[in-house]
Amino acid sequence: MKKTIPAITLAAMMMTGMLTACSGGGASQEQAASPQSSTPATPAGKSKVQFWHSLGGKNGENLDAMIKRYNESQDKVEVVGTFQGSYDETVTKLQQGVAAGSAPDVTMLERAYVQMFADSDVLEDLTPYMKKSNLNKDDFTQGLMGHSVFDNKLVSLPLNRSTPVLHINKTMLDEKGLAIPKTWEDMKKVAEALVVKENGEFKRYGLSMPYDSWYQLAMITQAKGKFLNDQGTSIGFGGGEGAKAFKLLKDMQATGGLYYPPMQDSGNIVNQMFTSGKVGMIFQSTGTIGGISNSAKFEYVTAFLPMDQVYATPTGGANIAMLAGSKNKQAAWDFVNWVMTNPNGAQQFVIDTGYLPFTKKMVESEQIKQLWAKEPNRKVAYDQLQYAVDTNKSVTWPQLNQEFNKAIQAIMYDNKNIEATLDNFKKEAERILKK
């Protein structure tokens, strides 16, 4: 008997639309408002596969181009790609579609939501399809497979995936004789050395980052904490890891070493401040590398997120999954398999967009090697995957993240006591986990 997706989870998901894209789950700042695709007529004799996705704007155009390449590559399957809105909106529509029997054959799923649908038994186990196609889990980058296997079932595969990295105005650092920071201590010193203050007003800041739990999650894991314990039954950062991360941020915020942006449109604000020289370094997604490269008028480089006790980075973005209720499973798998293995599939999509290559064949391909030689900033994100961690694997993640964002707001905007705020967050989070 299949479990149903809890209504309370749906309500929590609908409240998380402020989050950034490639992060812990939420609406993409890379997504522009985009009309839903009209459904073309399927040529006679072809199987139609419905594919729901969450990419608008330029990345949506790149995804549409990939679908077009697939449709033109063979004459048996016609894939219809439909933009469903942000990651959260797609999840909401997918839940409704599953309940109504109108779900698609294939869907894009922000990776933090995969477990929720897997727990409800609505995603197809891809293991037998993989075996017939001579594929296995070892063909994929392990740092991106943390949200693919649940209850020994392989229910999703990476697609548009990313990590946060440190983006640096190297020209600015060079002018001050500063080295690229490798540790939190380095980062604080460099950020504060870059500050320009005139007449009591900050004209330039050292570091910034979008409003998003992604970055605080990264710092907690760098301090050797975990968002959830290994059993997923309680909050996993104790012993001061969370307080240590937030104290560093608040100390830097007070000196101008850190500019913490308004919640609304925070990603674009941070990007514009960086490219205009108003901040020297930012924590941001790998998905912004292309846009920043085109706008920066200075030497622009990327680096690993600075470490505290260890290097660590969360991953973000979405996976691709097949619905268990699909009536066109073989045709759906033909498309998914082509995306995973054909150089004109996800490999070209990765080259076009800036997302991470996620199979060993992609990484070893001449096209990716040439790309990295031309744009070494993009290779940094892949190299950092050796330190990838999954800190948010829980069916209650949308609700937990909502509560964690409340704590971030209280500390970063309202200057509430760090320890008391995190203690309140833990109590509320553990109440949710015990339901």
Summarised one tens digit per residue, pLDDT across range 360-388 is 999 999 999 999 999 999 999 999 999 99
Burial state string for 55-70 with b = 16 or more CB within 10 A and e = fewer than 16? bbeebbebbbebbebb
Radius of gyration, alpha carbons of the chain: 22
Half-sphere exposure of 308 (CA within 13 A, CB side): 19
Average pLDDT over residues 216-225: 96
Alpha helices by DSSP H, listed for 1-108, are 7-13, 57-73, 87-100
**Model confidence at 4: pLDDT above 80:** no
Strand residue runs (E) in 330-369: none
Rounded CA-CA distance 65/185 in Å is 45
Torsion angles phi and psi, residue 323, rounded to 5? -80, 135
Pick the residue with more confidence: 34 or 211? 211
Measured CA angle at 319 (ends 316, 321), to 5 deg: 160
Q: Which of 83, 79, 77, 90 is nearest to 37 (CA)?
A: 83
Q: How far apart are the first and last CA of the chain?
A: 21
Residue position matching structure tokens 């548009």: 160
Q: What is the pLDDT of residue 390?
A: 79
Q: Is 136 exposed, middle or buried (0-12, 13-18, 19+ CB in 10 A)?
A: exposed
Going by pLDDT thresholds of 50, 70 and 90, the confidence category of residue 57 is confident
pLDDT at position 398: 83
Confidence of residue 5 (pLDDT cuts 50, 70, 90): low
Residue 16 has pLDDT above 50, yes or no: no
pLDDT number for residue 37: 43
Quickly state the pLDDT bin for 44 (edges 50, 70, 90).
low
Identify the band that residue 326 occupies on the pLDDT scale cut at 50, 70 and 90. Answer: very high
Q: Of 147, 244, 226, give the one whose Cα is nearest residue 429.
A: 226
Rounded to an integer, what distance in angstroms lies between the CA atom of residue 149 and that of residue 170?
Answer: 40
Averaged over 214-243, what is the pLDDT?
Answer: 90
Residue with tokens 């608040």: 250
Q: Which band of pLDDT confidence, cut at 50, 70 and 90, is reported for residue 75?
A: very high
Distance in angstroms (rounded) separating the CA atoms of residues 29 and 264: 11
**Mean of per-residue pLDDT scores for the chain:** 89
**What is the identity of the amino acid at 295?**
S
Domains of the chain: 7-162+316-364 (3.40.190.10), 164-314+392-433 (3.40.190.10)
d(CA 287, CA 289): 6
Residue 130 CA: distances (Å) to CA of 14, 127, 337, 389, 410:
34, 5, 8, 25, 46
Mean pLDDT of 93-113: 95
Q: Higher model confidence: residue 155 or residue 7?
A: 155
Element housing 275 (H / E): helix 266-275
- How many percent of the chain have pLDDT more than 90? 77
Look at residue 3 in the predicted model and tell me its pLDDT.
Answer: 54
What pTM did the predictor assign?
A: 0.85
Confidence of residue 28 (pLDDT cuts 50, 70, 90): very low
**Is the pLDDT at 104 greater than 50, yes or no?**
yes
Asked if residue 41 has pLDDT above 70, the reply is no
Read off the pLDDT of each residue in 313-337 and give the average, rounded to a whole number.
96
Query: What is the average per-residue pLDDT within 33-61?
Result: 74
Rounded (5°) CA angle 74-352-370: 105
Tell me: pLDDT of 34 over 50.
Answer: no
Distance CA 312, CA 348 (A): 28
Which two tokens mark 351? 């080259």
**pLDDT single digits (tens) 279-298:** 999 999 988 898 899 899 99
User: pLDDT band at residue 236, thresholds of 50, 70 and 90?
Assistant: confident
Range with the lowest mean pLDDT among 108-117, 151-160, 235-244, 360-369?
Answer: 235-244
Q: Which distant-in-sequence residues (6+ apart) come within 8 Å of 315 by Cβ?
A: 111, 143, 144, 146, 161, 162, 163, 385, 388, 390
Q: pLDDT tens, 178-213?
A: 999 999 999 999 999 999 999 989 999 999 999 999
- Contact between 16 and 398 under an 8 Å Cβ cutoff? The reply is yes
Percent of the chain residues past pLDDT 70, beyond the cut: 90
Is residue 215 pLDDT above 50, yes or no? Answer: yes
Residue 359 gets which letter from DSSP?
Answer: B
